[in-house]
Amino acid sequence: MSGTKIGGQKAAATNLKKHGDDFYARIGRMGGQNGHTGGFASEKVGKDGLTGTERAKIAGQKGGQLSKRGPARHPHITNEEVAAAKANKPRGGWKWLFSERKRK
């Protein structure tokens, strides 16, 4: 009956019977003692001189640079139209090009 709710209940009962009523508290304590809260949320400065958030930022930048995706492509707008819109810099930015072309 492994992997079922009833099997889990039987295993828990056996563990408590064999190892005592504080079995789960003891194994939980062992796991807690092994953790040292040095993850990306850590404000502690590590050996490299960075905090966890700074380290996460650098890791994200590296991942973004390795991205397999290319730049966004919009099949209904040519590159020349985008370049012209950027050069003219109309009021409100050049993103109007995307919304007006879709409406036509």
The half-sphere exposure of 69 on its side-chain side, counting CA atoms within 13 A, is 5
pTM: predicted TM-score of the whole model, two decimal places: 0.34
Taking residues 62-69, report their average pLDDT: 77
DSSP-assigned letter for residue 51 = -
Q: Please, which pLDDT band fits residue 54 given cuts at 50, 70 and 90?
A: confident
Per-domain boundaries in the chain: 1-35, 39-68, 71-104
pLDDT recorded at residue 104: 47
Q: Which 3 state secondary structure label does DSSP give 96?
A: helix
In the chain, pLDDT over 70 holds for what percent of residues? Answer: 70
Residues 52 and 39: beta-carbon distance below 8 Å: yes
- Is 96 within 8 Å of 84 (Cβ atoms)? no
